Structure 1
Amino acid sequence: MDATQNQKIFHRTVKVDGLDIFYREAGDPSNPAVLLMHGYPNSSFLYRRLLPALAAENYYAIAPDFPGMGYSSYPSADEFQYTFRNYANIISSFTEKMQLEKFAIYLHDYGSLIGMRVALMHPEKITALMFQDSNAYEEGLGKEWDACKVYWDHPTKENWDKIGDFLNEESCRQQYLAGVPEDQQALFTPDAWTLDWNLMNRPGHIDSLYALFKDYPDNRAMFPEFHNFFRTVQPPTLVIWGKYDAFYSVAEAPCYKRDNPDAEIHVLEAGHKVLESHFEELAHVILDFLDRKIKSKA
């Protein structure tokens, strides 16, 4: 495969457990693999610049859309169980379908909770973990999550009403801009949140995403298993955080060193969507990490 062809992004769909899973891929499948896990309310579109950057440095990069997000099947809540555990089962089957025998995982937002479950299923396959504004420690759930925690502990209608409507067009926009200094906001293209909202605002789909949110306590119960994985497997670990993240507190970033002292921590002057505003800086950090921890040992 020539260098130019190597950097092209291919857009494909594969059948996984009865669902159509859309994915983007770039690079030669014989190269070290990097599985890119998007978050809410995104899709693999989040990685449109990182995919060719990884491929150009001789990695095989692959980014699936989760069920109900992006261009993958979006079954109703009556047809599909919207839980993080079920998502992980689908993505685990996806990795087997794509014959990923060894792979690093890039984990962002909800994708970290799904990807870590996949890592627990296949510890022998994980070559590295890269966390970007994600969640594996309670410290990440700052005061912004207080009303959610009350609901999760006591799921009454009254407590639900206190959370308010958060799956809407403005919420999609704020995923990018919340907490970001005003002089940085012009770095974000509105195409990103417009696409997020148009794909999210499909018949019955918002109810499905609310169902997924209500399953979040199961992730908190998994945190000790995640920490044990960090301690016992000790995978090469990169942690990247936006200092101004309004959703997952930057207080979580140093926590990874508790269980894996060799974890590398980078805090950038950015918000929750670092890839959108600080791509060049972040790509350098990612590629340097992979070259040292993965390629040098391949």
Structure 2
Amino acid sequence: MQSHQFSTIPADGVDVFYRYAGPVDAPVILLLHGFPSSSHQFQNFIPYLAYHNYRVLAPDYPGFGFTVVPAERKYIYTFDNLSLTIAAFLDALHIQQFALFIFDYGAPIGLRIALDRPDAITAIISQNGNMYEEGLGETWGPMKKYWATDSAEDRAIIRARILSPERTIWQYTAGSPTGEKGVPPESYTLDLALMEREGNREIQLDLFRDYRTNVEMYPRFQAYLRERRPRALAVWGREDRSFVPAGAEAFRRDLENVEVGFVDAGHWALEERGEEVGGQVVEFLGRVLGSSKSGL
């Protein structure tokens, strides 16, 4: 099985780092990562999809991974702006149609792009990528308080609770049937190292605060599903503590043809159950987009 390559490309005044693989004339799959990770989380998934004859693109957002934001750009870290940068990244590569694979932060970023470019979306795969209030687990309590107050005190509480090494490891392992044994340690170790960069924690806190705008946009995302009726697959780790299974089931309310499946995993189902998740994704894409190897 082939590996993947990486590169950078200027887009929206930012040097966007991305990983890629697959034939350039094949159907495009855009992989959108979550917090606190980067395209690194897809390092095994990218060659798997490319093997099945898809062109795979996985960018790092500004503030994540190896994407570089020049100081003179004076970038404001909001989900609106992250979406604009990823849209500019697609334009820089002349990508006009693509399937969305949305995970965690990738959901509000990808769905903003879908609202702006509905005809570009060939399919949507949600792996624990939420767009329903009932999908928000109890762990969101402190974050909701921060949204309401925007106080320095609550910002400090969120910094201590969520941006700690212990919490990052917990995000990867909570709900996993095998605990830390099921998740490669290099995943969260890289995330922790990148968060140590000067100013990065403040970037993450700004995005935590802005996450409230994603919840405010849930009705628009849901209306998009009802009106555009994209082919969709929701495959979730059923033990996710952040985005609970009700968020996957809620897709049925707005999209009657959605396919919903669960695997025995937590939030990072692709890390823990890569073959199982990958199999469901490739089988779905084979039916929706077609591929000469989709049945393998």
TM beyond 0.5:
yes
The letter for the 2-side match of 1:179 is: G
The structure-2 alpha-carbon separation of the partners of 1:77 and 1:254, relative to structure 1 and needing over 3 Å to count, comes to: farther
Q: Quote the residue 1:18 is aligned against.
A: 13
Per-residue CA deviations over 1:217-236 (Å, capped at 9, x if unaligned) read 11111111100100011000
Aligned ranges 1:37-186 → 2 under 5 Å = 37-74=32-69, 79-161=74-156, 163=158, 165=160, 166-181=162-177, 183-186=178-181
The letter for the 1-side match of 2:164 is: N
Deviation (angstroms), 1:121: 1.1
The structure-2 alpha-carbon separation of the partners of 1:105 and 1:195, relative to structure 1 and needing over 3 Å to count, comes to: same
The letter for the 2-side match of 1:131 is: S
- State how far apart, in whole Å, the 2-side matches of 1:137 and 1:33 are: 27
Is the aligned partner of 1:27 residue 2:22? yes
Deviation (angstroms), 1:60: 0.3
- State how far apart, in whole Å, the 2-side matches of 1:255 and 1:74 are: 36
Q: How many residues align?
A: 290
Deviation (angstroms), 1:149: 1.5
Deviation (angstroms), 1:8: 3.4
Q: Quote the residue 1:248 is aligned against.
A: 243
- State how far apart, in whole Å, the 2-side matches of 1:164 and 1:193 are: 17
CA contact (8 A) 2:13 2:73 kept: no
Is the aligned partner of 1:230 residue 2:225? yes
Aligned ranges 1:250-269 → 2 under 5 Å = 250-269=245-264
- State how far apart, in whole Å, the 2-side matches of 1:116 and 1:77 are: 29
- State how far apart, in whole Å, the 2-side matches of 1:295 and 1:80 are: 39
CA contact (8 A) 1:22 1:72 kept: yes
Q: Which runs of 5+ in 1 are unaligned?
A: none
Q: Quote the residue 2:3 is aligned against.
A: 8
The letter for the 2-side match of 1:204 is: G
Deviation (angstroms), 1:69: 0.5
- State how far apart, in whole Å, the 2-side matches of 1:210 and 1:164 are: 7
- State how far apart, in whole Å, the 2-side matches of 1:226 and 1:233 are: 11
Q: Which runs of 5+ in 2 are unaligned?
A: 292-296
CA contact (8 A) 1:8 1:27 kept: no
Find the residue that maps to 2:192 and give its secondary structure: helix
The structure-2 alpha-carbon separation of the partners of 1:164 and 1:56, relative to structure 1 and needing over 3 Å to count, comes to: closer
The structure-2 alpha-carbon separation of the partners of 1:83 and 1:179, relative to structure 1 and needing over 3 Å to count, comes to: same
- State how far apart, in whole Å, the 1-side matches of 2:134 and 2:165 are: 28
Per-residue CA deviations over 1:25-48 (Å, capped at 9, x if unaligned) read 000110000000001011101111
Find the residue that maps to 1:61 and give its secondary structure: strand
The letter for the 2-side match of 1:172 is: T
The structure-2 alpha-carbon separation of the partners of 1:266 and 1:8, relative to structure 1 and needing over 3 Å to count, comes to: same
Report the TM-score, using the length of structure 2 for normalisation: 0.93
Report the TM-score, using the length of structure 1 for normalisation: 0.93
The structure-2 alpha-carbon separation of the partners of 1:164 and 1:28, relative to structure 1 and needing over 3 Å to count, comes to: closer
Per-residue CA deviations over 1:62-82 (Å, capped at 9, x if unaligned) read 100001110101456992100
Q: Identical aligned pairs, as a percentage? A: 38
Per-residue CA deviations over 1:92-117 (Å, capped at 9, x if unaligned) read 11111111111001000011111110
Question: Which of 73-82 and 224-233 deviates more?
Answer: 73-82
